[in-house]
Amino acid sequence: MKVEARIFDLVMGFSFLMAVVYGFWTWGAAPHGLEPVGTVALALTGGLALISGTYFRFVARRIEVRPEDNSDAEVSDGAGELGFFSPGSYWPVGLAAAAATAGVALAFWHVWLLVIAVVLLLVAVGGLVFEYHTGPNHD
């Protein structure tokens, strides 16, 4: 996770630096002074990268060192099971369709379709999350 934290730190530093450069550049070039939209967008991009990098840094402290974080690691150190991935789930297809419907609803600003898409998104996310949930064991 340290690698990911460094990547987001670089994005954060670049975004904040470009926000300052962009602010000074537009201050001198624009007839009405500072152009606020680009400056704020770059500053918010840096803030989002700061939040993500901080999260990865905190997670890196709590988990054991991964092969990606070890400079002396071999390729074989990363071998083994990485997690459980459902091979025959149809929920991701439904989730993609619901997200596409929400995107179309936002693009054409059909509020009725947006409400339907949000409900479909919630159902699809719930189905995906609880697909293998069997409930408490009452033996």
80 within domain boundaries: no
pLDDT in tens, 59-69: 988 888 888 77
42 within domain boundaries: yes
Average pLDDT of 110-135?
92
Parent domain of 105: 91-129
User: Does one domain contain both 63 and 31?
Assistant: yes
* Average pLDDT score, the chain: 90
* Number of structural domains in the chain: 2
Question: Of 35, 41, 11, 14, whose CA–CA distance to 23 is shortest?
Answer: 35
User: Does one domain contain both 7 and 71?
Assistant: yes
pLDDT at residue 58, as a whole number? 93
Torsion sign (Cα): 51, 55, 58, 60: negative
On the question of pLDDT at 130 being above 70, the answer is yes
User: Does one domain contain both 101 and 60?
Assistant: no
Model-wide pTM > 0.75: no
pLDDT in tens, 47-106: 999 999 999 999 988 888 888 777 888 888 888 887 777 788 899 999 999 999 999 999
Hey, what amino acid is at 3? Answer: V
Torsion sign (Cα): 104, 106, 110, 116: positive
User: Does one domain contain both 95 and 67?
Assistant: no
